[in-house]
Structure 1
Amino acid sequence: MNQLLDQYRDEIVWIFGEAAAQLQTLPEESKEQALALLGQCYPFDRKDSEGSNMISYLLPYWVGETVGSPIELCRELAVGNVYGMLSFFLLDDVMDEKGEIRRSLALSTLLNQRFMEAYHRCFSGDPQLGACYNRYLAEWAEAMYREVDEPMDPRDPGRLARKAAPVKLCAAALLLQAGVAKRIGDMEVAIDLALAVLQLSDDWTDWREDLPTASCNAFLVLLRENLPLQAGEVLDESMVKRGIYREQALGGLATLACDYANQLSAMKDAPASLQVFTSIITQSLQRKANEIRDHYDSLLNDGGFSMYLKING
């Protein structure tokens, strides 16, 4: 991600600086929590420097570049999207029973208000944009409901993307402002493909944390398909590790991500930076899958795989 972070470094610094300044006006009891959460998302302070959340605040620039939007408008929506990102992060934590529920819900409400205010300032309650927001919010809500009742489907990019559906609002807004509303549908498909790849990557990263609710994790769902498990049999960490090495489960996930990235690349009007973002994530998954494959082959050749599983299982 470093090349995109470097390309937009000045804008990212401005976005987070502006958001931090505006958050100073929150009620005192919420301000400290909000600023701390904002700081956790600042990509240049992260040790991993991955910045996978950059799509939330850089998408306005990526879409704006394709339709010639004013930079001031892109900046306004980017700051608004930071508030939206933080608001939905807090809601996710509440649903995952993390953090203080009362404080998280209160701050999420305040941040969502700031998110909507940014759009209202720019578009004065455009009914078309309001309809888009309602649809994206409904997609997000559907994802939350279905996550409890149905296993995730790694082969359904639209469903994979729904947990982040509200991020698409900036794209709809910029296309409406540019007078090309007819392109909203295609842009939604492009963004969904990028979000699907991001979700696959996140599910790989979070598989240990997600084991108690394995059916919500696309990687674990894919891995389970290749294991001889009985109906209702619960995955444990040692099973997953065996699937990663013996069944090369990450390779299957990387192949799916590559397919989605290729579909995105074939869309002529998709923002170039969105394609780059998706390609970087896909290449990272493929590199890791190749590393695991090569390590597995080496262990087999050296006769050390059973010892490895005994130590790490």
Structure 2
Amino acid sequence: MNQLIDQYSDEIVQIFGEASAQLQTLPEELKEQALALLGKCYPLNRKDNEGPNMISYLLPYWVGETLGSPIELCRELAVGNLYGMVSFFLLDDVMDEKREVRRSLALSTLLNQRFLEAYQRCFSVDSQLWACYNRYLAEWADAMYREVDEPMDPRDPGRLARKAAPVKLCAAALLLQAGRAPEIRVMETAIDLALAVLQLSDDWTDWLEDLPTASCNAFLVLLGENLQLEAGEILDESMVKRSIYREQALGGLAILASDYADQLSAMKNAPASLQIFSSSIAQSLQSKANEIRDRYDSLLNDGGFSVYLTING
């Protein structure tokens, strides 16, 4: 995915620079935290030159290129999306009990207001955009509420995408500006497919961290189905590792991701960069699944698998 970052490197410098400058006006006790969080998302400082959340701030450019939107509008929405991205990160972490609640909620509220202000500068209060915003926010809230009580469904791309639903606001905004409101639903479907692929990848990366609440993680749900666990039986780390190698559990997740990416690639009006983004993630998952399979075969043939599990199980 380096090509997606490289292609927009000048814009990335500009929008992160604008956001950083604007964050200087935050209360002193919150400014440092906000700038640190924004810095962690800055892809040009990462060794892999990627950045796991590029869709948040590059989607306005991807959709804008498809529609021929003014670059100034794309930049404004991209800066707004940076604020929205960090705001929702903070809320997610608070719900996962990873951050101190009082400070994080205060900062999230301020950043969400900056997110909205960026859009309010471009769209009137009676714009159809705000109905879209309310719907996306409801999708996000539904996802956060349901993940505690209802197992994630890896085969439902719409539900997989809901935790990132507010990112779709920029696409709706650009379509409205272009006078193409009837296309909003189709664009939402395209973005949901890309977000579903991203969520599957994130769940693979975070499986160990998510193990205590396994039903929230699509990879662990899929693995549990394959293992046909008895009622009340709980996944543990050793069980997951064995399944990853013996049952090639990642392969099933990679197939789902590839299916969603293929569906997106078949949508002729979907932004090309969005298609590249999702295909790259799906290919990365498949490559990792192939690597695990080859390593397992090698260990099995060499008689070393039992030793591996003894060390890593």
Letter in 1 for 2:31: K
Asked if 1:172 corresponds to 2:172, the answer is yes
Check conservation: 2:87, 2:109, Cα contact below 8 A.
Answer: yes
Distance 1:202 1:72 in 2: 32
Quote the residue 1:84 is aligned against: 84
How far off its partner does 1:45 sit? 1.6
1:69-122 per-residue CA deviation (whole Å, 9 max, x = no partner) reads 000000000000000000000000100001210000000000000000000001
1:267-301 per-residue CA deviation (whole Å, 9 max, x = no partner) reads 01000000000011011000000000001111111
Quote the residue 1:302 is aligned against: 302
Letter in 2 for 1:46: R
Percent identity of equivalent pairs: 86
Mean CA deviation greater in 21-30 or 252-261: 21-30
Quote the residue 2:155 is aligned against: 155
Equivalent residue runs for 1:48-63 within 5 Å: 48-63=48-63
Equivalent residue runs for 1:112-191 within 5 Å: 112-191=112-191
How far off its partner does 1:51 sit? 1.2
| Residues 126 and 58 of structure 1: CA distance in aligned 2, closer, same or farther (over 3 Å) | farther
The alignment partner of 2:122 has SS state of helix
How far off its partner does 1:229 sit? 2.1
Asked if 1:210 corresponds to 2:210, the answer is yes
Asked if 1:231 corresponds to 2:244, the answer is no
1:223-256 per-residue CA deviation (whole Å, 9 max, x = no partner) reads 1111142111111110000110011111100000
How far off its partner does 1:302 sit? 0.9
The two structures, once aligned, show a CA RMSD in angstroms of 0.8
Quote the residue 1:199 is aligned against: 199
The alignment partner of 1:226 has SS state of helix
How far off its partner does 1:48 sit? 3.8
Letter in 1 for 2:310: K
Letter in 1 for 2:109: T
Asked if 1:5 corresponds to 2:30, the answer is no
Distance 2:44 2:202 in 1: 20
TM-score when normalising by structure 2: 0.99
Letter in 2 for 1:204: W
Check conservation: 2:261, 2:278, Cα contact below 8 A.
Answer: yes
How far off its partner does 1:169 sit? 0.2
Quote the residue 2:31 is aligned against: 31
1:166-205 per-residue CA deviation (whole Å, 9 max, x = no partner) reads 0000000000000000100000000000000000000000
How far off its partner does 1:303 sit? 1.2
Distance 1:242 1:126 in 2: 56
Letter in 2 for 1:308: Y
Mean CA deviation greater in 82-91 or 231-240: 231-240
Quote the residue 1:286 is aligned against: 286
Quote the residue 1:256 is aligned against: 256
Distance 2:126 2:35 in 1: 30
How far off its partner does 1:124 sit? 2.0
Mean CA deviation greater in 46-55 or 303-312: 46-55
Check conservation: 2:59, 2:274, Cα contact below 8 A.
Answer: yes
| Structure 1 segments unaligned to the other structure (5+ residues) | none
Quote the residue 1:47 is aligned against: 47
Distance 1:229 1:73 in 2: 51
Mean CA deviation greater in 47-56 or 292-301: 47-56
Letter in 2 for 1:205: T
Distance 1:66 1:97 in 2: 40
Quote the residue 1:266 is aligned against: 266
Mean CA deviation greater in 17-26 or 229-238: 229-238
Distance 2:83 2:70 in 1: 21
| Structure 2 segments unaligned to the other structure (5+ residues) | none
The alignment partner of 1:127 has SS state of coil
Letter in 1 for 2:74: C
Aligned residues: 313
Distance 1:58 1:33 in 2: 23
TM-score when normalising by structure 1: 0.99
Check conservation: 2:44, 2:50, Cα contact below 8 A.
Answer: no
